[in-house]
Amino acid sequence: MRAAPTILHLDMDAFFAAAEQASKPSLRGKPVVVGGLGPRGVVATASYEARRFGVHSAMPMGQARRLAPNAAYLVPRFTFYRAISGQVMELLGRLSPLVEPLSLDEAFVDLEAGGVADDSASARAAGERLRRDILATTGLTGSVGLAGSKMLAKIASEEAKPDGLVLIEPGTERELLGPRSVRIIPGIGPATGEHLRRAGIVTVTDVVEAGEDELVRLLGRAHGSSLHQMALGHDDRPVVAERDAKSVSVEDTFDVDLHDRLRIRLEVERLAERCVARLRGSGHSGRTIVLKVRRYDFSTLTRSETLRGPTDDPVVVREAAGRLLELVDTTGGVRLLGVGVSGLADYTQEDLFAQAEAREAALGGEGEATGPAGPEEPDVAAAPAPPTATETAERRWAAGHDVRHAVYGAGWVQGSGLGRVTVRFEEPTSAPGRVRTFPVDDPDLSPSDPLPLVPGGETGAAA
């Protein structure tokens, strides 16, 4: 624990959705949901306006549509987001040589190593300057936490959301953390939180009072000891530049063992979608798909499959996880499932991506309208018919992607169907634009690079 709050944590506010709102004037101030639009899609990011309806990341897209039927639903533009992330990371690099990216929109910075802060006043000044620079460079907002440790800096940035700065003075950690839920401590998820609640441990103060021995008994040596130290505010982890992630994974523990094979498969598919969302958020792809199954008797099995090259496509990961599940005997019940991707890289092999796109097209995963209710979701149990030429053309126009018309100029796809594509013509710096509809094969309409969010900016990477 440092004597000055010189560890900074930056978390961009609703990053994907905010980037879409900034590039599309007609969506500003309105609910926006970014994610997979197919029948098995999940939410990657929801704008703050959409969160008021209960929409959140990792939620099934069908549930999001029921909660916020009037929201705009857009497919992600990860190349666009990576371009903006690069601008933000460059600004962080000007503060310090020690920048630890956690994902496209989140990072730790050691201000002391950069020589820009050695006390509370200078740390706050650096944080406020960073927020101004991010807004001027990208047009987006970020929340900043400052503290003497990584754990507390992350907690502070969460408290600062949206578009704020919170500084935790060293020495006030116990007072700050004491009344908070145990879930505020990194690594305490729903399952562990519920396990502690059943033992009468609800707040951080309860964790401290329970003592290390009791926590070790409840959670095991490593987890119990770590939780006790963090509850005391002790966290000496350094900021590590060029953080080398080796894998990305998600898992769920179920209160009641799962026995139904179909339910187990559906849970694996949902975990695969969540895993890909996290994988893409970190800017990676991966070659090896891993399935983890903890059975009713606490025995844990893992199965893996290595692809010909790295992928970040949800269909590829979902199908691989499904194949791995077929290799596991779930008779007797399952209490935990997990899906992971390892062998990480920072690109996606083109031939695998093309194969996955073809499979996604067969499932109807793109080209849906962004209107108030959207189309009815197809019966996923039914075998899809081969796509017609018109359907294939429609899938070229993904909701939210950029286009250019020879007469009307730059715009973005609101949706497509029945051989038509609807486009709203507007630019990041213009007023909300008009909507026009064209045949999907209109020769004057073509996909386009996104325009920069800020005049003179460089976010016009291919989407």
Three-state helix/strand/coil letters over the chain: CCCCCCEEEEEECCHHHHHHHHHCHHHCCCCEEEECCCCCCEEEEECHHHHCCCCCCCCEHHHHHHHCCCCEEECCCHHHHHHHHHHHHHHHHHHCCCEEEEECCEEEEECCCCCCCCCHHHHHHHHHHHHHHHHHHHCCCEEEEEECCHHHHHHHHHHHCCCCEEECCCCCHHHHHCCCEHHHCCCCCHHHHHHHHHCCCCEHHHHHHHCHHHHHHHHCHHHHHHHHHHHCCCCCCCCCCCCCCCEEEEEEEEEEEECCHHHHHHHHHHHHHHHHHHHHHCCCEEEEEEEEEEECCCCEEEEEEEEEEEECCHHHHHHHHHHHHCCCCCCCCEEEEEEEEEEEECCCCHHHHHHHHHHHHHCCCCCCCCCCCCCCCCCCCCCCCCCCHHHHHHCCCCCCCEEEECCCEEEEEEEEECCEEEEEECCCCCCCCEEEEEECCCCCEEECCCCCCCCCCCCCCCC
CA distance 63 to 41: 10
End-to-end CA distance of the chain: 42
- What percent of the chain stands above pLDDT 90? 57
Residue 388 pLDDT = 53
pLDDT of residue 371: 37
- Out of 55-59, 172-176, 407-411, the most confident range is 407-411
Q: Is the pLDDT of residue 301 over 80?
A: yes
- pLDDT for residue 346: 57
Residue 243, pLDDT score: 56
pLDDT at 383: 38
- pLDDT for 125 equals 97
Look at residue 381 and tell me whether its pLDDT is greater than 70.
no
pLDDT for position 365? 40
Q: What is the pLDDT of residues 333-378, one digit of tens each?
A: 998 999 999 888 754 433 334 344 434 443 444 333 333 333 333 3
> Which pTM value belongs to this model?
0.71
Average pLDDT of the chain, as a whole number: 85
Q: What is the average pLDDT across 177-188?
A: 87
What is the structure's pLDDT at 64?
Answer: 95
| Candidate from 15-19, 281-285, 301-305, 438-442 with smallest mean pLDDT | 281-285
Judge whether residue 192 has pLDDT over 90.
Answer: no
- CA-CA-CA-CA torsion for 101, 191, 316, 282, nearest 10 degrees? -10
173 is catalytic: no
310: confidence class by pLDDT, cuts 50, 70, 90: confident
Residue with tokens 């990961």: 317
Is 242's pLDDT higher than 50?
Answer: yes
Is the pLDDT assigned to residue 413 strictly greater than 90? yes
pLDDT-based confidence at residue 456 (cuts at 50, 70, 90):
low
With a CB cutoff of 8 Å and minimum separation 6, the contacts of 279 are 248, 285, 286, 312, 317, 341, 344
- The pLDDT assigned to 457 comes to 61
pLDDT higher for 331 or 134? 134
pLDDT band at 67 (very low <50, low <70, confident <90, very high): very high
Q: Catalytic residue among 106, 112, 212, 394, which?
A: 106
Enumerate domains of the chain plus CATH numbers.
188-231 (no CATH), 247-348 (3.30.1490.100)
Q: What tens digit of pLDDT does each residue of 430-451 get? A: 999 999 999 999 999 999 999 9
Stretch 16-31: mean pLDDT, rounded?
Answer: 97
- The mean per-residue pLDDT over the stretch 284-291 comes to 91
Segment 291-318 mean pLDDT: 88
Could you tell me the pLDDT band of residue 66, with boundaries at 50, 70 and 90?
very high
Is residue 331 over pLDDT 60? Answer: yes
Mean per-residue pLDDT, 133-138: 96
What strand order describes the sheet that includes 445-447?
434-439, 420-425, 409-417, 402-405, 445-447
- pLDDT bin (cut points 50, 70, 90) of residue 233 is confident
* 255: confidence class by pLDDT, cuts 50, 70, 90: confident
- Model confidence at 222: pLDDT above 70: yes
Q: Report pLDDT for 279.
A: 86
Q: What pLDDT score does 220 carry?
A: 86
